[in-house]
Amino acid sequence: MRLIQHKREAYWFYRFLSLGYDRWVNPLFWTPAMRALALEQARLERGMNVLDAGAGTGFTTEGIVARVEASSVTMLDQSPHQLARSRTKPALADCPRVLGDAENLPFADDTFDRYVSAGSIEYWPDPQRGIAEAYRVVRSGATALVIGPVRPANRVARALAETWMLFPAVEEYTRWMEAAGFTDVRVVELAPDWYRDQRAPYALAISGVKPAPGPSPAPPPAPPEPPPSRARFAFRFVAGSAAGALFIPIAAVLTVRDRLAARRAG
């Protein structure tokens, strides 16, 4: 398991990252254009009851409430610090907020018309369980949308990614969706402007339709991993945070390179 792929490490990682998430992270890694393209796959409409699982500071939720009434969009996250930051956004004022776990959703079967989860799967210790939960809580005929990173093709980036958190392969996303019971599974590739590697996509938006009511037919999840000791937790948190922090300057360099190339071309 990656160093920040345990809920305790992820909790503390976002305790600090939430302070600058919208200002420093989203502009590089999860842009408005990427969000718009991804949310098209959810087929959102007015009057729908939507769950945003792993809503964080609400960047993706802002895209959802542009299409659905805010009072019908439930924001769920395990980080109280991320959800607290979301309260500064006027567009999200009417959204219900729930502190909870995407792998153990506190909702009844067949509750929502749509499920969206963006940038959360990389912190799930058991992705199959999280996607099975997405299946369980949406109604028959509803669409679930999962958005997440893809294993980098670049060797340096891949080494950092696999130290830091989960970066699944494309085929893993598809396998998890189909094993959970979803049909009509569709994959759309996403990337920020600075990403130019043609060997692999940067991220995916993968959607599926729930064909019948009730829980997922996926096999029962494995028992959860026991919490690490304090010493092991400290090592995992520091090392994982350092690996994650390296992504920001790398992305910044690529962003500057792209802007300089565009300026020279203009």
**What is the chain's pLDDT, residue by residue, as a tens digit (266 residues)?**
554 556 665 555 555 554 555 666 667 788 999 999 999 999 999 999 999 999 999 999 999 999 999 999 999 998 888 899 899 999 999 999 999 999 999 999 999 999 999 989 988 888 999 999 999 999 999 999 999 998 877 776 666 666 666 688 899 999 999 999 999 999 999 998 878 778 888 899 999 999 999 999 998 776 666 666 666 655 555 565 565 566 666 666 765 676 677 678 76
Where helices occur in the chain by DSSP H, the ranges are 7-17, 26-29, 32-40, 59-65, 80-86, 127-137, 155-164, 170-180, 230-245, 247-265
Q: Does domain 7-265 have CATH number 3.40.50.360?
A: no
Q: What distance in Å separates the CA atoms of residue 21 and residue 41, rounded to the nearest whole number? A: 25
- Backbone torsions φ then ψ of 50, nearest 5 degrees: -120, 140
For CA atoms 210, 213, 214, 219, the dihedral sign is: negative
What's the whole-model pTM score?
0.81
Q: What distance in Å separates the CA atoms of residue 167 and residue 27, rounded to the nearest whole number? A: 20
223 vs 58, 113, 120, 226, CA distance in Å?
Answer: 31, 30, 20, 9
